[in-house]
């Protein structure tokens, strides 16, 4: 049994491959920035429609990633991201304690919006640097690509937001689908089709998530949704630290 528990899950393996893919994307973007910065021009104004650039492919990848978060496609996607959907909700057999559920949502929402305030402050700082000309458009896109890599580092290796959220794993994370909004919000001051299309779509993903949290809170709590419990976990995205918590639960 110990041998099976130590084996990497299929989902975790796929997520590691995605992390490698994202790192490659970041490296390619850095090389393009160094050797042909003009390719980043499509991120300015309405130049998105004037010529082809590798950044169009990056835009399509990001749009596709966000589209998948609106679809109940459990295969190879963490239940932490998919718990918004009724088709993946597995209610407990016992009666749900709605008083405790309400308190849980209240507490996790408070923690979540602490993260939001922190991220908005970071966005303001980055925006000031961009508007003052210290950071150019290309560097802003590179920053979003860097956050794209950091997103999976948080899932697979270590997540600093857990220090605020106090969640034991990504499966139960209150802000799992906030990732794209956090990635793209800092590039809002580019003020172009490229930036606004990403920010608006990521805001839509965030809005759907938040509406579901308050409309269907039982889907987000492991004491009302069996699919979120460690004993039922098939994703096994947890780090060594999280596995220790699972053994204690």
Write the pLDDT tens digit of every residue in 137-154.
Answer: 999 999 999 999 999 999
78-92, 153-167, 197-211: range with highest mean pLDDT: 197-211
Distance CA 18, CA 13 (A): 9
Cβ-contact 139, 205 below 8 angstroms? no
Lowest mean pLDDT among 30-34, 158-162, 181-185, 204-208: 158-162
Q: Is the pLDDT of residue 63 over 50?
A: yes
Structure tokens at 96: 């749900």
The predicted structure's pLDDT at residue 74: 64
Q: Is the pLDDT of residue 166 over 90?
A: no
pLDDT band at 249 (very low <50, low <70, confident <90, very high): very low
Structure tokens at 166: 């106090």
Structure tokens at 68: 């998948």
pLDDT band at 3 (very low <50, low <70, confident <90, very high): very low
Question: Which residue matches tokens 């850095």?
Answer: 30
3-state secondary structure the chain: CHHHHHCCCHHHHHHHHHHHHHHHHHHHHHHHHHHCHHHHHHHCCCHHHCCCCHHHHHHHHHHHHHHHCCCCCCCCCCHHHHCCCHHHCCECCCCCCHHHHHHHHHHHHHHHHHHHHHHHHHHHHHHHHHHCCCCCHHHHHHHHHHHHHHHHHHHHCCCCCHHHHCCCCHHHCCCHHHHHHHHHHHHHHHCCHHHHHHHHHHHHHHHHHHHHHHHCHHHHCCCCEHHHCHHHCCCCCCCHHHHHHHHHC
| Global confidence as pTM | 0.90
């Amino acid at each position: 049994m110990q041998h099976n528990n130590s084996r990497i899950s299929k989902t975790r393996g796929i997520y590691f491959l995605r992390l490698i893919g994202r790192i490659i994307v970041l490296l390619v973007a850095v090389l393009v920035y160094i050797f042909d910065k003009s390719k980043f021009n499509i991120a300015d104004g309405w130049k998105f429609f004037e010529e082809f650039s590798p950044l169009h492919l990056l835009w399509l990848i990001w749009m596709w990633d966000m589209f998948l978060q609106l679809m109940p496609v459990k295969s190879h996607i963490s239940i932490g991201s998919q718990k918004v959907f009724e088709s993946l909700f597995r209610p407990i057999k016992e009666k749900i304690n709605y008083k405790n559920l309400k308190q849980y949502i209240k507490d996790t929402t408070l923690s979540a919006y602490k993260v939001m305030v922190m991220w908005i402050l970071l966005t303001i700082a980055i925006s000031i640097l961009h508007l003052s000309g210290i950071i150019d458009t290309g560097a802003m896109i590179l920053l979003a690509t860097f956050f794209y890599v950091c997103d999976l580092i948080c899932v697979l290796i270590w997540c600093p937001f857990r220090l605020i959220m106090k969640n034991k794993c990504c499966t139960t994370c209150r802000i799992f689908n906030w990732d794209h909004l956090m990635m793209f919000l800092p590039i809002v001051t580019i003020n172009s089709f490229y930036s606004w299309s990403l920010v608006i779509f990521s805001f839509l993903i965030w809005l759907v998530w938040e509406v579901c949290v308050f409309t269907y809170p039982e889907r987000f709590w492991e004491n009302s949704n069996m699919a979120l419990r460690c004993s039922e976990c098939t994703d096994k995205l947890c780090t060594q630290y999280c596995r220790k918590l699972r053994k204690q639960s």
